[in-house]
C-alpha cells in the first residue's frame, strides 16, 4: 500500500488572496545568478495568517497557548473530510449523528475559488453551534477551506473563541477541491515560529493506493 500525497495548500505568490487590510505576500529577489550573484535567493514578506495557515490559541486568547506550546502530534494522523457543497454556513446539524473523530476537515464551495480571487465576505464558515459541538466532543484539529473558520465580522468572534479556548488547532485556507468525503491521512506542518499566534503551513492529504 503506497500513499500518494495531494497538496492542499494555497500556492504563495504575488496577488494571492489575503485578508482585507493584511499586507500582501511578497517574494522579491535577494541574489540573482542572472545579475552576477552566486545563487538565486529571495526575501519574503508575509504574515502569520497568509495563505494556508494555522491559528494558535493565542491568536484570539490573550492567555492561550503559543504555536510552540502545541503538541505536534496533532499535525499527523487521519482526518475525516466532510463534504458540504451546498451549505452557506456550517452548523452543528451538518456534523451528523455519529461521534466525531479527533481531526475534521470541511470542504465547501470555498474550495472552488481561484487562489487569487478577490476576497469574498460571503465565504462558508462555521457557526458558533458547530464550534461548540466540535469542542464538546474534544475534536483536536479543524480544517476549513477559506482564510477564516468564522463568518465575516461574526459578533464577538464566538467561533474562534470556542475553538481556541478549547485548544482546538484551527487550519485555515485549505484547498480541498477534487476530494470526496472520507477518512484520509492528513499532514499539516506550520513553520516553527517561536512564541507566535499562528504560522503559514504546508498541508497534504494522502490517497491510499494498492501497489500493483
What residues act catalytically? 59
- Which cell numbers in the block locate residue 43? 526575501
When the beta carbons of 32 and 85 are compared against a second copy, the nearer one is: 32
Query: Can residue 107 be called a binding residue for a second copy (CB under 8 A)?
Result: no
The distance of Cα 28 from the centroid of its chain, to the nearest Å, equals 25
Which letter does DSSP use for residue 128 in this model? H
- The CA–CA distances, whole Å, from 39 to 31, 32, 33, 45, 68 equal 6, 6, 5, 20, 32
When the beta carbons of 104 and 201 are compared against a second copy, the nearer one is: 201
Q: What is the CA radius of gyration of the chain?
A: 18
Contact 161, 170 (CB under 8 A): no
When the beta carbons of 82 and 163 are compared against a second copy, the nearer one is: 163
Query: Can residue 40 be called a binding residue for a second copy (CB under 8 A)?
Result: yes
Query: Can residue 30 be called a binding residue for a second copy (CB under 8 A)?
Result: yes
Phi, psi of 198 (to 5 degrees): 165, -175
Query: Can residue 1 be called a binding residue for a second copy (CB under 8 A)?
Result: no
Query: Can residue 127 be called a binding residue for a second copy (CB under 8 A)?
Result: no
CA distance 200 to 137: 27
Over the window 158 to 187, marking each residue x when it contacts a second copy by CB under 8 A and - when it does not, the resulting string is --x--------------------------x
Question: Interface residues with a second copy (CB under 8 A)?
Answer: 3-5, 7, 9-13, 22-23, 27, 30, 33-34, 38-49, 51-52, 58-60, 62, 68, 72-73, 75-76, 157, 160, 187, 189-198, 200-204
Amino acid at each position: 500500500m503506497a500513499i500518494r500525497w495531494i497538496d492542499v495548500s494555497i500556492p504563495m505568490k504575488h496577488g494571492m488572496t489575503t485578508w482585507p487590510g493584511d499586507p500582501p505576500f511578497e517574494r522579491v529577489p535577494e541574489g540573482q545568478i542572472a545579475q552576477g550573484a552566486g545563487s538565486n535567493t529571495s526575501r519574503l514578506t508575509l504574515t502569520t495568517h497568509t495563505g494556508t495557515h494555522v491559528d494558535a490559541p493565542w491568536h484570539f486568547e490573550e492567555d492561550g497557548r503559543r504555536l510552540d506550546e502545541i503538541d505536534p502530534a496533532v499535525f499527523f494522523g487521519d482526518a475525516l473530510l466532510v463534504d458540504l457543497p451546498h451549505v452557506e454556513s456550517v452548523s452543528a446539524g451538518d456534523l451528523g449523528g455519529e461521534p466525531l473523530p479527533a481531526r475534521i476537515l470541511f470542504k465547501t464551495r470555498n474550495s472552488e475559488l481561484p487562489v487569487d480571487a478577490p476576497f469574498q465576505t460571503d465565504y462558508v464558515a462555521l457557526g458558533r453551534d458547530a464550534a461548540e459541538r466540535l469542542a464538546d466532543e474534544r475534536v483536536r484539529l479543524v480544517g476549513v477551506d477559506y482564510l477564516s473558520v468564522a463568518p465575516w465580522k461574526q459578533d464577538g468572534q464566538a467561533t474562534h473563541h470556542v475553538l481556541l479556548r478549547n485548544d482546538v488547532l484551527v487550519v485555515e485556507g485549505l484547498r480541498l477541491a477534487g476530494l470526496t468525503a472520507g477518512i484520509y491521512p492528513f499532514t499539516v506542518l506550520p513553520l516553527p515560529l517561536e512564541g507566535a499566534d499562528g504560522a503559514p503551513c504546508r498541508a497534504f492529504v494522502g490517497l491510499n493506493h494498492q501497489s500493483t
